[in-house]
């Protein structure tokens, strides 16, 4: 897509995303290297392993939280734990994360995450 404007690609990606066209949105976000939005698309496409990889590149608490919560809801606890390790280092994000695990009735998984992350 030579000659395309990054802002235009972002706008088209946003329109696709808002319309639920996550595969198309992912392609536009890839062009502009918006890794947070790529991770969000991958979560909605239930491609959790790839969402973790995109979250690594984005490396923002918001992205990690979205990926983690989606993985917990999908019962992908190993992936959720990997994402959670990047959240628990931000104390202001911890309460919301704990509430999410509790709301899904998986407190043992949360305890495991906290034990694993205790050394961080």
The whole model's pTM is what? 0.89
Convert the pLDDT of each residue in 66-103 to its tens digit. 999 999 999 999 999 999 999 998 889 889 999 999 99
Burial label, 68 (beta-carbon count in 10 A; 0-12, 13-18, 19+): buried
Convert the pLDDT of each residue in 24-52 to its tens digit. 999 999 999 999 999 999 999 999 999 99
């Amino acid at each position: 897509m030579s000659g395309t404007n990054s802002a235009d690609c972002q706008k088209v990606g946003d329109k696709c995303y808002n319309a639920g066209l996550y595969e198309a949105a992912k392609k536009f976000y890839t062009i502009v290297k918006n890794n947070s939005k790529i991770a969000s698309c991958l979560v909605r496409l239930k491609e959790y392993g790839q969402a973790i990889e995109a979250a690594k590149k984005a490396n923002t608490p918001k992205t990690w939280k979205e990926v983690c919560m989606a993985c917990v809801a999908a019962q992908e606890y190993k992936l959720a734990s990997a994402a959670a390790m990047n959240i628990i280092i931000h104390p202001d994000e911890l309460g919301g994360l704990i509430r999410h695990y509790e709301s899904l009735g998986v407190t043992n998984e949360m305890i495991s995450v906290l034990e694993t992350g205790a050394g961080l």
